[in-house]
Each structure stands twice: as structure tokens, then as C-alpha cells.
Amino acid sequence: MLYLSDKAFLILAFNTAGMLLINKTLQNNNIKTDLVPAPPETGTVCAIVVRVNENDLETSKSILSREQVVYKDIIEDKKLKLQGLIDRKLGLAVSVEFLEILKKIEAGDDLSYEDIVYLLKTDKPKELDVIYATADRIRKEMVGDAVEIRGAIEFSNYCCKSCKYCGINATNEIAARYRMTEEEILEVVDNLHREGIKTVILQSGEDPLWSTERIIKLIRIIKARTGMRITLSVGELTKEEYKELKANGADNFLLKIETTNRKIFEDIHPDDDYDRRVQCSKWLKELGYINGSGNIIGLPGQEISDIARDIMFFKEMGINMIGIGPFIPAKGTPLENLPHGNIELTVRTVAVTRIVCKKVYLPSTTALASLDKDAQVWALNAGANTIMLINTPEKYRGSYRIYDNKNMVDMDSAIYAVKKSGRKFPAYLKISKEMNNVD
Ligand code: SAH
């Protein structure tokens, strides 16, 4: 039997097209590859790299040279080793099981499903302190101290789907519908660009009148005018549509799995199929998107074990951005009378996701901010590194009510959260210079 090395190597490309070509060429030659987020030392030019096992390295090199596929570099996929997690002072305040998990984290080894369940479940205060501190250290090592600030425009709340939790679902008659025009969207984009924000998130319901062709026209203009990075969050499309959008300027795509428990998924998404959703996420990856997923904490019937599987899924799929938010009931939906998800469990899920997935974007979500003014601060201290501002024009904002009491995350609240968590503003923001607290 072939011995599989636990060492892996990363093949770095010059750009996304190159990365995709390398991946395809190797796969066509039966080499097993993974697309993974690039480690910090490679910079952020090409955010995804191709990983191959050490056993396949030499064959891969000769395949690429034979087929004249260029690459920029090959580096070892180094494990992130952390020293000093285990401290004698921990003493009896932590369990033997917990110490075993810490050993794995120190050595840079992957955690098992059981380890993840343990971290999500423990109620020992000292263990919790260590979990949060470890997530915070890994965040610092992998993505630094600056909090990424992105601007979201919720450009239409028309939706043809009936997701049971979502306040703008097709069947919710109390939702006041709006659809922004291209001009209205561009006006907001120009403002974001002036503030120095580098990424705009365009989010909507699944609105047939904002067709793929129309979105393509819009993103082409945004790219030409501002050069900003574009994140789309417009739901399930065909592979061809995702491809067209990518070719015309979309960089990132946010399509949350919401839950990896198939039964719950199908119960809360009467129009969607679980396998299809996973397929969409795989296509996004294959097409070279920075691939966003995430889950909702506190769905009816959801157990800690389900959340642990969600985290395994993010890791196995090589997801780059993971939005983790508590469930919040929305009036007019079938789930309107349920309690909201637990804040501590949500923040803890952020922390464990950082420990497991390492170099990823983890937003401190609006849903968290909606439950407590300080919840965004807690998430930033537990591994999160991104805040999404809501830039939907005031006259529409209240109608993008995916859940009730949705908080307004604006620049002021982001400044509050960044300061209170002791973090830094990114240098690209105009406002950062005045804040004098730039990374
Ligand atoms: N139509 C797009 C955008 C959906 S809104 C899509 O389907 O991808 C973005 C996210 O809001 C969803 O992925 C979901 O995780 C979250 N969301 C919607 N309703 C919610 C609720 N009631 N509580 C918590 N999160 C919710």
C-alpha cells in the first residue's frame, strides 16, 4: 500500500487563471489536489493555491513542465505551530482531554470531529478562556490585527424562494418590497470608493428581475469605475452563470450552507436541495472565486454535533470566508415565534472555526450586532477579522428585514467595535489616518 505522507506542498500561480489551469492539468493526470487559502507569507496577490501531497510532488512538477503550465513557486505547506498553549498554571482547571487537544493545536495537527465537539461543548471557564485566547492568537498570526471593513449594498429584497427563517422570503406578505436601480447602486459604490473601502458586497433576494445579465452589466461598470473587489451574495445560480459573473469581474461569492444537517436544511429550505447547494459551493471554488459560506446558529433541531460538522465542512471545502450568525426570528415567517440563537455559542463557533480553518476571513456579523451592542467586540476578540458595513440607502434599509431588529452597522459602530476590541484600522481606509491607529 502506498504510504501517504502527511507533508504537503503548495503550488503558487501568478493569477487566478493560472491557478485554475494548474489545478485542472494535475487533476486530468489523476493527481489529487486541493484548493486552499494561500498562507500569509505568500502575500495576498493570489488568494488560492493548489495543494498536493508530498508523494505527488515530483510527478506534478513533471506534468506541469511537460504540459508547459507555468507556476510562480512551490513551497511547503507548513503547519502553524503555536508554542506555550499548555501552561502548568492550567493545572486541574482543564481536563486531560482538553490538554490533548491543545497538544494537537500546538503541533499544528488537524483536530478531529470529537475534538471540535468538545471545544463547542465544554463549560469549564478556564478552558473557555484558553479557547478564545488561542483563536485570537491564530487570528493574529494568520491575518494580522487590522479589521477588514467591507461595504454591503442590499440592492433588492424581492425573492422567489421561501426559506422559512428569512424575513424577505417570497411568502412574507408583510415585507415591503423594493428594488434599487443601477444608478442608485452606483451612487453608493462611488461613496464607498471615496471612503477608501476596497470591497463592495452586493446582496439581494433571488430576484429574477435582477437577472445575471443585469448584474454583469452592473459589475462591469463598478470594476471600470472603481477597480473595487466585488462580492456577490445573490443565491443559487447555474454553473454557467457563476462562470459568466466571474469572467465579468466578480471576485468573491457568499453562499452560505446555513446548516450541514441535511434534514434541517431541507426542512427550512422548501425550494432547495442540499446536494445542489453543496454543488454550487464546489463550482464557486472550481471557478476561482474566493468562496464564502457560513451557518446559522440556533436553527430548530440543530445540535452541537451539527455545528461541529459545519466547521468540518468549511475546512474540507477550503472555504475562504465564513459568516457565522445567530438565528433571529423574523415576523411573518414560519419561524417567527422561535427564540433567537445563543450569542455565546455563536461567538464560540467563530473561535473554534478560527482554530480549525486558520487562514480565513471571519466576519463579526450584523446578526450578532443585532442581539447585543458589544457582541461584535466579543467576536473580534474570538477570532473574527472582518466587519461588513450596511450601506443600503436609508429609504430601503428598513425593508431588507431578513430578521427583526436588524442593527445598523455603520462606520461609527465599526469604529466603536475596532477600538473597544483593541484592534487596528486598515491603512486603505481614508478615516484610518484620522484615527491614527493604522495597521
Ligand atoms: N439570497 C441570498 C442572500 C441571503 S441573506 C442567498 O440566499 O444567499 C444572507 C444571509 O442572511 C443568509 O445566508 C442567512 O444566513 C442570513 N439570514 C437570513 N435570515 C436570517 C435569520 N432570520 N436569522 C439569521 N440569519 C438569517
Q: pLDDT for 81-135, tens place per residue?
A: 999 899 888 888 999 999 999 999 999 999 999 999 999 999 999 999 999 999 9
Grid cell listed for 101: 487537544
What is the amino acid identity at position 314? F
Residue with cell 481536563: 95
Question: Residue 46 pLDDT > 60, yes or no?
Answer: no
Question: Residue 438 pLDDT > 70, yes or no?
Answer: no
pLDDT of residue 88: 81
Mean pLDDT, residues 202-228: 98
Please work out whether the CB of residue 242 comes within 6 Å of at least one atom of ligand 1: no
- Ligand 1 atom closest to 403 (CA): 22
Give 407's pLDDT tier (boundaries 50, 70, 90).
confident
At residue 334's C-alpha, the angle toward residues 328 and 336, to 5°, is 35
Starting at the earlier edge strand, list the strands of the sheet with 321-326. Answer: 321-326, 290-297, 252-254, 229-233, 199-204, 148-156, 386-390
Mean pLDDT, residues 350-358: 97
Give 436's pLDDT tier (boundaries 50, 70, 90).
low
Residue among 201, 273, 296 whose CB has most ligand 1 atoms within 8 A, to mutate: 296
Q: With DSSP H G I counted as helix, E B as strand and the rest as coil, what are the percentages for the chain, rounded to 5?
A: 45, 15, 40
Question: Residue 45 pLDDT > 80, yes or no?
Answer: no
pLDDT of residue 135: 98
pLDDT of residue 89: 85
Instruction: State the Cα–Cα distance between residues 39 and 76, nearest whole angstrom.
Output: 10
- Range in 76-80, 208-212, 363-367, 391-395 the model is least confident about: 76-80
Please work out whether the CB of residue 390 comes within 6 Å of at least one atom of ligand 1: no
pLDDT of residue 351: 98
Distance 294 CA to ligand 1 centre (A): 10
- Ligand 1 atom closest to 168 (CA): 19
3-state secondary structure of 163: coil
φ and ψ at residue 312, rounded to 5 degrees: -60, -40
Please work out whether the CB of residue 165 comes within 6 Å of at least one atom of ligand 1: yes
Query: Taking the model in full, what pTM does it have?
Result: 0.94
Measured CA to CA in angstroms, residue 32 lies from 8, 52, 340, 402 at distances of 11, 7, 42, 40
Give 165's pLDDT tier (boundaries 50, 70, 90).
very high
Residue nearest to atom 24 of ligand 1 (CA): 327
Phi and psi based region of residue 145 (left: phi greater than 0; alpha: psi -120 to 50; beta: remaining): alpha
